[in-house]
A and B are shown apart, each in its own frame.
Chain A
Amino acid sequence: MTEKQAPPPAREPKDRKKPKNEGWIRWWGLGAFVGLAVLLALLWLFLVDPFVKRMIEQTGTKLVGAKVELAAAHVTLSPLGLTLTRLQVTNPDEPMSNAVEAARIAMSLDGLNLFRRKVIIEEMAVEGLRFGTQRQSSGAVAPSREPGDAAKPAAKIPMPSFEVPDIKTVMATADLQSVKLAESLQADIKKAQDDWKKRLTELPDQRKLNDYKTRIEKLKSSAKGGLGGILGATGEVAAIQKDLEKDLEGIKNAKTDFDRQLADLKQRVDQAIKAPQEDVQRLQEKYRLSPQGLANMSGMLLGGKGGEWVRQGLAWYGKVQPMLAQAQVQPKGPEVVKPIRGKGVEVRFAEREPLPDFLIRTATVSAQLEAGDLNGKIENITPDQHILGKPLTFAFAGDKLKGVQSIRLDGAMNRVVPASPRDHAQVRARGYQVQSMSLSDSADWPVTLGKAVADADLQATVSGQALAGQATVGLQSVKLTAGKPDAANPVIKAIGGALSSVTGFTVKAELSGTVEQYDVHLTSDLDRVLKDAVGKQVQALADQFTKELQAAVMAKAGGPLNELKSSFSGLGGIGNELASRLTQGSLGSALPSNPAEKLLPEGLKLPF
């Protein structure tokens, strides 16, 4: 018997060794982990600076829409901080210049909050801040866009003309409303006349009304035949009375309609009669020859500059706005933030000590302007003011600058209640030296503020979209030149003389409207000076122009107006006719309440 070879074990192959059991802890693994961690830390140390630099450049470029460049970024661990060297932010409207350039920005960060994904910058120092510096290469990242409002030139305010315009030229291009009105009204009156003539034929005429009288007389004579005749005629009298009353009602209604239409047409005729005078006033304003023009002269002279400054200020305000734009107010319960495909959503919960995701508590800024250094402090820069509960505030000051004795700028941008934002700023400048400021570059009427020393107080508030502001600028040691020395026009000459003798004046400005559509209203004691100097001469010119204009307008509108009056008076005939028919009908209708009594002989009364 051969021994059967035992089959190999089902669970373990014969030649297979048992798994090694060397314990569950691998001590060298701990060393490897520490080594890996050290390696990662070293890599981080070497790569963090270029990584931060790249991140700032990329994020900044995306936000601004033009290149944001950094020369270097350096992260320090103890204390945790970041230093940026030569930050350049391209002006998206002018890619060859920087909107802002900072030589050095150093900041200290709250490390613990950084782990909580909150960038809390306790202190930031911005040194060597400059505006509008030239770039060596274009900072555009996209095809050049349409220049914004800030780049658009200021709308020029036309200066008043002190020449009497040629009346023939004025009338050749004038679109006289009085003529149009008279012609249109004339057509309406004609139509009304035709309509009423037609309606008169449809109403009971004199003949029909006389008929009623005849029929009543006839009945009276037939009633004299006795009581039976009287009673027989009673029914007929009642029928006549009913017909007559119906006809009279028709005439009355027509008279009422006519009177109403007549009153309406009369009102329009009165307007048409006044229209030539309105045309004269409109043309006077168009050619700006009035003493009132002088009353607003400072608005014309300084309005352009004022508007330009307001526009520049609002353009900067518009650039700062997105930094504070907060998307949503955090609700009390868990908040699900925007879903990102493949990345999940962030669910936010209430924080015990709520802090914004981004906050710069204090930023000290040193700006290098052409005039000199302007130093200041900005506090609470965050897009989440409602979480912080404090508004952004800023205060800048500069003394003994080139061309300005002192300047103070302070204000706040308040978004603590996001639904009702309120921002305000005030500027106080003393001893601002004005040099060769062109107020009007009109070829016929150049006005230049050659020299002046200005003290200015400005304040502006933006509540939601509503804009309000006041400014008072006092100018001393003024040297103004206006018009050309060889100007032939005596008025322009007089204005030039009056302006050159001005040594000081005050300008007050009122800003109103909205951020998109604002209005600057300027007043100045310069207006009084000008009015005193040349008011009479301008008035004489204006009177002459008005006289010529009135004559020319009346010559053109007089004919249609006369025709209009004549047509309107023609309507009177229709009114008279209606009144006459009504009178005649009323006489015929003077019947007693009981028609039978009309037919009884005098002295007799019916018992019922």
Chain B
Amino acid sequence: MMRMLARLLAVLNSETHPGQISLGFCFAMVAGFTPLMSLHNLLVLLLVLVIRVNLSAFLLGLPVWSGLAFGLDPLFHRVGLAVLTNGSLASLWTSLYNSTLWRLEHFNNSIVMGSLLVSLLAFAPLYVLSNLAIRRYRAHVLAWVEKTRVMQLLKASRFYSLYQSFSGMGGGL
């Protein structure tokens, strides 16, 4: 827990653009909410690696969103089932069902459909809110955090120096 908190502080306190951190959290939400071995998560991985997304935020967010998904599975199931069994969308699902790529995506599973839909709908609001929160944090809380003993200890740690060095390389880690 402490390790995770330290990592979170390191990410938030770094010079990384808030948008990159927010995107990391948002992509982590998509990958975390939906079953990990889904085809769309391959695309998420590609985007996370190619777009300058903060990887630490992604890796930090992934277990958190996955943990939340366990509790939210019944909701995903209900949403997914409602959408998949909706009569007006039947022709769309039927045509997707006959496509190999979409079958591989396993879209006809209630939890895959529900979790993907929820995470995609929440993507943009989460990005905006997360950006706002990071900016506010940096403006109002960061100075105080920097002075705390925890942060002093963190800054003195090998992990932080390593993180800073990789971050400085422009990797947006």
Q: Which residues of A contact B (CB under 8 A)?
A: 8, 10-13, 16-30, 32-33, 36, 112, 115-117, 333-334, 336, 342-352
**B68 contacts chain A at the CB level, 8 A cutoff:** no
Is there contact, CB below 8 Å, between B15 and A347? no
Is there contact, CB below 8 Å, between B93 and A349? yes
Chain B residues, CB < 8 A from A116: 100, 103-104
Query: Which partner residue on chain A sits nearest B146 by CB separation?
Result: A13
Is there contact, CB below 8 Å, between A336 and B81? yes
Interfacial residues of chain B within 52-78, with CB under 8 A of chain A in the complex: 52, 73, 76-77
Binds A, one of B24-32, B106-114, B120-128, B151-159: B106-114
Supply 5 A–B pairs (Cβ within 8 Å), ascending by A: A11-B139, A20-B15, A29-B49, A333-B90, A345-B81
> In the complex, A342 Cα to B139 Cα: how many Å?
42
Is there contact, CB below 8 Å, between A352 and B98? yes
Chain B residues, CB < 8 A from A19: 15-18
Chain B residues, CB < 8 A from A30: 46, 49-50
CB of B10, distance to nearest CB on chain A (Å): 15
CB of B148, distance to nearest CB on chain A (Å): 15
What 8 A-B pairs are tightest by C-beta distance, nearest first?
A: A344-B111, A29-B49, A349-B97, A344-B110, A116-B103, A19-B17, A347-B84, A11-B139
Is there contact, CB below 8 Å, between B52 and A336? no
Query: Which partner residue on chain A sits nearest B92 by CB separation?
Result: A349
> In the complex, A309 Cα to B139 Cα: how many Å?
89
Is there contact, CB below 8 Å, between A22 and B18? no
Chain A residues, CB < 8 A from B100: 112, 115-116
**B51 contacts chain A at the CB level, 8 A cutoff:** yes
Is there contact, CB below 8 Å, between A334 and B93? yes
Evaluate whether A347 and B17 lie within 8 angstroms (CB atoms) in the complex, with A33-B45, A115-B100, A336-B81 already known: no
Please give the number of chain B residues whose Cβ is less than 8 angstroms from any Cβ of chain A in the complex.
43
Contact of B112 among A117, A342, A344, A350 (CB under 8 A): A344
**B85 contacts chain A at the CB level, 8 A cutoff:** yes
Contact of B45 among A24, A26, A36, A115 (CB under 8 A): A36
> In the complex, A344 Cα to B77 Cα: how many Å?
6
Is there contact, CB below 8 Å, between A22 and B170? yes
> In the complex, A117 Cα to B97 Cα: how many Å?
12
Contact of A33 among B50, B94, B114 (CB under 8 A): B50
**B143 contacts chain A at the CB level, 8 A cutoff:** yes
Chain B residues, CB < 8 A from A17: 15
CB of B68, distance to nearest CB on chain A (Å): 14
> In the complex, A349 Cα to B15 Cα: how many Å?
50
**B142 contacts chain A at the CB level, 8 A cutoff:** yes
Is there contact, CB below 8 Å, between B81 and A26? no
Contact of B85 among A16, A29, A112, A334 (CB under 8 A): A334
Chain A residues, CB < 8 A from B138: 12-13, 16
Q: What 1/0 flags go to B9-27 for Cβ under 8 Å of A?
A: 0000001111000000000
Chain A residues, CB < 8 A from B139: 10-12
> In the complex, A29 Cα to B114 Cα: how many Å?
29
B interface majority secondary structure: helix
> In the complex, A34 Cα to B85 Cα: how many Å?
37
Is there contact, CB below 8 Å, between B85 and A351? no
Q: A348-B108, A351-B98 are in contact. List 20 more A-B contacts (CB 8 A).
A: A11-B139, A12-B139, A13-B138, A13-B142, A13-B143, A20-B17, A24-B51, A25-B52, A26-B51, A26-B171, A27-B50, A28-B171, A33-B46, A33-B49, A115-B104, A334-B85, A336-B85, A343-B109, A347-B93, A349-B108
CB of A478, distance to nearest CB on chain B (Å): 63
Is there contact, CB below 8 Å, between B49 and A344? no
> In the complex, A395 Cα to B86 Cα: how many Å?
47
> In the complex, A338 Cα to B140 Cα: how many Å?
52
Number of A-B contacts (CB under 8 A): 111
Chain A residues, CB < 8 A from B90: 333-334, 349
CB of B48, distance to nearest CB on chain A (Å): 8
Among B18, B49, B171, residue most surrounded by chain A Cβ atoms (within 10 Å): B49
Among A22, A29, A115, residue most surrounded by chain B Cβ atoms (within 10 Å): A29
Is there contact, CB below 8 Å, between B49 and A334? no
Query: Which partner residue on chain A sits nearest B23 by CB separation?
Result: A24
Query: Which partner residue on chain B sits nearest A13 by CB separation?
Result: B143
Contact of B109 among A29, A345, A352 (CB under 8 A): A345
Evaluate whether A345 and B17 lie within 8 angstroms (CB atoms) in the complex, with A20-B170, A22-B170, A336-B81 already known: no
> In the complex, A195 Cα to B93 Cα: how many Å?
85
Is there contact, CB below 8 Å, between B52 and A22? yes
Is there contact, CB below 8 Å, between A347 and B52? no
Chain B residues, CB < 8 A from A334: 84-85, 90, 93
CB of B117, distance to nearest CB on chain A (Å): 13
> In the complex, A342 Cα to B50 Cα: how many Å?
32
Is there contact, CB below 8 Å, between A345 and B110? yes
Chain B residues, CB < 8 A from A117: 103
Query: Which partner residue on chain B sits nearest A352 by CB separation?
Result: B98
> In the complex, A12 Cα to B108 Cα: how many Å?
48
CB of B165, distance to nearest CB on chain A (Å): 14
CB of B114, distance to nearest CB on chain A (Å): 8
Chain A residues, CB < 8 A from B80: 344
> In the complex, A479 Cα to B51 Cα: how many Å?
90
Chain B residues, CB < 8 A from A336: 81, 85
Is there contact, CB below 8 Å, between B109 and A344? yes
Chain A residues, CB < 8 A from B170: 20, 22
Is there contact, CB below 8 Å, between A346 and B142? no
Query: Which partner residue on chain B sits nearest A40 by CB separation?
Result: B42
> In the complex, A36 Cα to B42 Cα: how many Å?
11
Contact of B51 among A16, A25, A32, A333 (CB under 8 A): A25
Is there contact, CB below 8 Å, between B81 and A24? no
Query: Which partner residue on chain A sits nearest B91 by CB separation?
Result: A349
Is there contact, CB below 8 Å, between A26 and B52? yes
Chain B residues, CB < 8 A from A343: 109, 111
Contact of B50 among A11, A20, A26 (CB under 8 A): A26
> In the complex, A568 Cα to B46 Cα: how many Å?
106
CB of B82, distance to nearest CB on chain A (Å): 11
> In the complex, A26 Cα to B169 Cα: how many Å?
12
Is there contact, CB below 8 Å, between A29 and B18? no
Q: What 1/0 flags go to B124-135 for Cβ under 8 Å of A?
A: 000000000001
Query: Which partner residue on chain B sits nearest A117 by CB separation?
Result: B103
Chain A residues, CB < 8 A from B52: 22-26
> In the complex, A17 Cα to B18 Cα: how many Å?
13
Is there contact, CB below 8 Å, between B104 and A347? no
Evaluate whether A25 and B108 lie within 8 angstroms (CB atoms) in the complex, with A336-B81, A347-B84, A351-B98 already known: no
> In the complex, A352 Cα to B111 Cα: how many Å?
25
